[in-house]
Structure 1
Amino acid sequence: MIRPRFLLTMHKFGQGGADRVALLLASGFARAGNDVTIVRMQSGGEGEAALTPLCDPAIEIASAGAPMGSRKLELARGLALIVRRIRAARPHVVLATSNNIGLVTAFAALIVPRSGIRFAFKTTNPVIRPRDKSKVAQWYRRRLYGFIFGRFDCILPLTDAERGRLIALYPQYEQKFHTVMNPYVSDEMLANFTPQTTRRDAPRTIVALARMMPQKRLDLLVSAFARMRRQQDRLVIVGEGPERAGIEALIAQLGLSARVELPGFADDVVPWLRKADLFALSSHYEGLPAAVIEALATNCPVVTTDCFDGAAALLAHAPHCAVVPCGDADALAAALDRGLAYDERPTSLRAIARRYCMAAAIDSHLAVLHELAHAAQAERSNAVLTRIRPVRH
C-alpha cells in the first residue's frame, strides 16, 4: 500500500474550536505516517500565532492569500488553489474540515477528475440551524446541503444523534454518514489536580469559553447571570470577536462591570477551567462544542443550552450539570444557581470526556479515511492495469 496522502481544506487559522481541531487532526494524521497537506483560503487568521505551533513540521501548508475582508470572496479565490493542489498532489483523500469549507470543496470535487480520489466532509454545525425558521430558509438549506453531500463520498458527523438527524433529512445518503470523535481532550486536561474546596455560599466563578459572535448568545449568558439569586459570584468570558463592544455595553447597562471579566482570547484554556466552579455555554446552535468536553475533562460541571444534538444524553448522569432550552434566560439563570450548589468539585466528569482524548479521536478519523484511501488506491491500480493490459484480437 502506498503511503496515504491527505489534503485538508479549511478557511483560516482562526480562534474557533473547529480550526484548532483541524490542526490537531492534521498533526495526528502526519504522526501516524500519512502525507498531509493543508490548503487554507486565507493566511494571517486571528488565531495564527496560537495554532501554527500545533502543526507537525511534516505538514505542508498552502495559503490562497491575505485576508480580503469577505469570507465569500476568500472562498471563491481559494477554489482555484484547492483545484491546483489536488491536480498537483493527487491526494487519496480530500477532507473538508468544517461546514464553512464544504461548499467550495464540493465545487472542487466537480472540477477535478474524481478517479482515484475520495472526498470526505466533516459537519461541525447543524445543516438546518435554529435561525432558519421560515420554510423558504429550511428548503434552501436542505437543498444546499443535498447538493454538497452529493459531491462527497463520505460525511463525518460528530455524534450519533447528529448522524440520525442527517439520515432523516437525507435517507438517500445513509451509507455515507460515519460518526467520528473530535480530539478535544489533552493529557494536561486529564491530569489530576486538587481544587480548593469552598463553601457553597462563598463567591464562585462561572467561566465561558466562546468567540464573541451572534451564534454564541453571550448576551443571553450575561442577562442570565444578572438574574441569578447568587449575587456574589463572578462571570469570566474568555474569547474575542466582533460582538465584544455590544457585550461590554450590556454588562455596563446591567451594572455588572465589577463582577464580569473579559480577558480576551487564551491560547491555553486549562488554567481557566481549573479556576472555574462552573462552565456555561449559551449558544443558539453548535456541532459538538469542544469547550463542553474540555470542561468535563477537568471535572468542571457544565450548564449548557440545548444547542447541540446529544446534549441531554452526554450530561444525563453528570453531577451538577444541566441542559436548558435555547434562548431562555430565566431557565439558564436557575440552572447556574443549581450548578453552584456543591461544596466539593465532582470527580467523575472526566470519565465522560475520556472517549474524546487525542489518540482515540484521531484513530476514529483514520479508520474511515484509510478505508477511503484504500478504495482510491485500488481504483488507481485498476486503471493502470487496464491501460497496460494487451488488447486481444
Structure 2
Amino acid sequence: MVAIKTRVARSRINPDCQNDPPPLRVLTFLYSFAPGGVERIAARLHAAWAARGVDSRIVLADARIAAPMPLTAVTQIAAEPRSGTLARFVALLRGVPAIIAADRVDVLFCAGNTYTAPAVALRLLLGRTCPPILAKISNDLLRPDMPWLVRVFYRRWLRIQGRYIDHFVGMAPAMRGEIAHLIGVAQDRISIIEDPALSDADIARLARVRDGALRTRPGRHYLAIGRLAPQKNFALLLDAFARIAQPDDRLRILGEGPERAALEAQAARLGIADQVALPGHTDPLDIWLGAADAFVLSSDFEGVPAVVIEALAAGLPIIATDCCVSMADLLGHGTLGTLIPVGNVAALAAAMATIATAELEATMQARRAAAQRFTIEHATGKYVALLAMLAKTRAAQR
C-alpha cells in the first residue's frame, strides 16, 4: 500500500468566501528534490505560484533530500524508502491519481524532460479524467550522445509525448522550432518562458560578490559547474586545460557524480592534479563565482544551463560549447562570451588561453542585464497565465 504523508493540510472551502471562485489548482510531481537544476527551479516556481494565490502542491516519491528552500503543501508518496528511479516512477503512478481526484487538480506540471515518462503514463492511466499537462523542456532534444539506433526510438518517444502532453514550454526563443519539429506539435501548443534560474535578489547578490572579490592572485582561475557525468564532458575540459595551463593557473570543477574517479585519474595522468580541484557539490555558488576569472562549459548537450545564467549574473567571462540551440542567443551571439564547437579540444584550449582576466565594466554590466530575463519575477506571471489558460480550455471542453 502507498503511504501518503502531507506536510500541510488544506481546505478547499473558505467559509467566509463562499462565492469566491476556487483558486487555480496545480500539481507538480517529482521523484525527489535531487540537487539538480530541474528540481530546484520546480521548487522556486511552486513557491512563486503559491505567493500569487495558486493552490500549488508538490508530490514527491522520495523526500529524503531536503527541499532547496522552505516550502509548504509538499506531499510524499512512497511504498517504502527505495531510491531507484523505477520504484519512484511506480510510486508516483500509484499515488498521484488519488490526489488528483481528491484535490480536483486543474493542471499537472511536468518540470522537465526527466518527468515526461510519468506524465504520459498518468495520461494513459487516467484517460479523459487526467488534467491538462504542461511540460517544460529542460534539456536538449537532439541528444547527439545517443547511438543512432537508440536515437531512432528516442525520436518516436518524443512524438508520443506530443500526442499525450497538452502544452510545452521552451526556455528560450530558439527552442520553439526544435520542439515543433521533434515533438511534432503545432506552434499554438508551444510557449516560450525564460527559465527562472535566479531572482532579482540573486542577481544583485552575485554582482556584489563579484565586485567585492579581491582577485590579486597570480594565474588564471577557471570555474566549471555540473554533475560529473558524460554529458558535461569534463574530460574535454581537463585536456584543454592541460594544453594551456601555466604554473599558477587553476581549474575548479564543482559537482559530484559517477565520473569522479576517472577525472581524478585523468588529471594525474596529464600532470595537472595539483592545479585541478573537485570540491564536490557546493551551494551557494557565490564564493566560487566571485573568485573565478572565467566560467567554462564543456558539455556535449544542454537545455538552457542555469550555471551559464548564474555566470552572466556575476558578470564573468564565459567560454561555452555550442551545445544547444539556445546557447548563441544566451551569449549574445559572441558579445557576452565565446562559443566553440562541441568536442573541439583545440578550440576550447585556445579560448581559455586568450581569456581576459580584466574586462571593461560595460561588458560586465551587459552580461548582468542579459541575466535579467531569467528571473522568477519575470517568469511567474507568464506561467500563471498559461496554467490558467489550460485550465479554462479544459473546463470549456467539459
Q: TM-score range by the shorter chain?
A: 0.7 to 0.9
Which residue of structure 2 lines up, in the alignment, with residue 348 of structure 1?
366
Gaps of 5+ in 2: 1-20
Given the alignment of the two structures, is residue 88 of structure 1 paired with residue 102 of structure 2, yes or no?
yes
Tell me, yes or no, if the aligned pair for 1:295 and 1:302 is still in contact at 8 Å. yes
**d(CA) in 1 for partners of 2:301 and 2:51?**
33
Label 1:158 to 1:312 Cα distance change in 2 as closer, same or farther (>3 A): same
Tell me, yes or no, if the aligned pair for 2:328 and 2:334 is still in contact at 8 Å. no
Label 1:343 to 1:94 Cα distance change in 2 as closer, same or farther (>3 A): closer
Which residue of structure 1 lines up, in the alignment, with residue 292 of structure 2?
276
Which residue of structure 2 lines up, in the alignment, with residue 321 of structure 1?
337
Secondary structure of 2:278 counterpart:
strand
Which residue of structure 2 lines up, in the alignment, with residue 292 of structure 1?
308
Which residue of structure 1 lines up, in the alignment, with residue 175 of structure 2?
162
In the TM superposition, what is the alpha-carbon distance from 1:197 to its structure 2 partner?
Answer: 7.0
**d(CA) in 2 for partners of 1:28 and 1:66?**
31
Number of aligned positions between the proteins: 372
In the TM superposition, what is the alpha-carbon distance from 1:196 to its structure 2 partner?
Answer: 5.2
In the TM superposition, what is the alpha-carbon distance from 1:265 to its structure 2 partner?
Answer: 1.1
Tell me, yes or no, if the aligned pair for 1:189 and 1:270 is still in contact at 8 Å. no
Secondary structure of 1:111 counterpart:
helix
**d(CA) in 1 for partners of 2:290 and 2:126?**
48
Cα deviation digits, residues 320-344 of structure 1 (max 9, x gap): 6111111111111111122235355
Secondary structure of 1:178 counterpart:
strand
Label 1:99 to 1:266 Cα distance change in 2 as closer, same or farther (>3 A): same
Secondary structure of 1:248 counterpart:
helix
TM-score with structure 2 setting the length: 0.87
What amino acid sits opposite 1:32 in the alignment?
R
Which residue of structure 2 lines up, in the alignment, with residue 388 of structure 1?
none
Tell me, yes or no, if the aligned pair for 1:42 and 1:66 is still in contact at 8 Å. no
Given the alignment of the two structures, is residue 107 of structure 1 paired with residue 121 of structure 2, yes or no?
yes
What amino acid sits opposite 2:77 in the alignment?
S
**Aligned-pair RMSD on alpha carbons?**
2.3
Trace 1:95-134 onto structure 2 (pairs within 5 A).
95-115=109-129, 117-134=131-148
Tell me, yes or no, if the aligned pair for 2:336 and 2:366 is still in contact at 8 Å. no
Given the alignment of the two structures, is residue 73 of structure 1 paired with residue 91 of structure 2, yes or no?
no
Which residue of structure 2 lines up, in the alignment, with residue 10 of structure 1?
30
Tell me, yes or no, if the aligned pair for 1:42 and 1:65 is still in contact at 8 Å. no
In the TM superposition, what is the alpha-carbon distance from 1:231 to its structure 2 partner?
Answer: 4.5
TM-score with structure 1 setting the length: 0.88
What amino acid sits opposite 2:108 in the alignment?
V
**Aligned with residue 319 of structure 2, among 285, 303, 315:** 303
Label 1:127 to 1:198 Cα distance change in 2 as closer, same or farther (>3 A): closer
In the TM superposition, what is the alpha-carbon distance from 1:318 to its structure 2 partner?
Answer: 5.5
Which residue of structure 1 lines up, in the alignment, with residue 39 of structure 2?
19
**Aligned with residue 37 of structure 1, among 39, 53, 57:** 57
**d(CA) in 2 for partners of 1:350 and 1:41?**
37
Which residue of structure 2 lines up, in the alignment, with residue 386 of structure 1?
none
Cα deviation digits, residues 345-369 of structure 1 (max 9, x gap): 6332101101111211222222211
Moved over 6 A (4+): none
Which residue of structure 2 lines up, in the alignment, with residue 387 of structure 1?
none
Which residue of structure 2 lines up, in the alignment, with residue 247 of structure 1?
263
